[in-house]
Amino acid sequence: MSAVLNAHVERELAIMDSVGAMDSVGTIDEAASLIATVIESLASAESLHLTTARYEIYLEGLRQEPFQVLIAQVRTRFLAIGVGLLNDLNLPSDDYIATGLVSLVEGLTANQVFHSGAALNKKDLKALITAFLNSLKTI
């Protein structure tokens, strides 16, 4: 399970890298557009099998206690990406804020995957992400 999870994470990170998700961003607008592109990429027909596999791996990992540590390690990698993005934008990057950002991305991705009839277009995804990031200025 460890090798499968790690291989899957590497593929997902490669998808994110291919759309520039690992690049530095300078504005909230750029960040929101980039995150919306990542969500669209993860929910696209080309990547849908990888994204649904991630959910299946996570569910199986929850059933098998030894794999919960691995899932936590994966989550830590994605939280670090979130912290980096928040730092690039000079926004608060406390753990709870990075967790909120990653959870927003995960939730919007799940919506796109599991509720395709209610999937949001890129403009709406970007608007939600922009609103979230702008709200962090008040913290």
Long-range contacts of 83-91 (CB under 8 A, 24+ apart): 85/25, 85/31, 86/136, 88/24, 88/25, 88/26, 88/31, 89/25, 89/26, 89/27, 89/28, 89/31, 89/133, 91/133, 91/136, 91/137
Q: What is the pTM of this model?
A: 0.87
Which residue bears the tokens 């998700």? 21
Nearest of 129, 131, 135, 136 to residue 21 by alpha carbon? 129
CATH fold for domain 2-138 = Tetracycline Repressor; domain 2 (1.10.357)
Q: What is the mean pLDDT of the chain?
A: 88
| Digit-coded pLDDT (tens) for 65-84 | 877 887 888 788 889 889 99
| Digit-coded pLDDT (tens) for 7-21 | 777 777 777 677 666
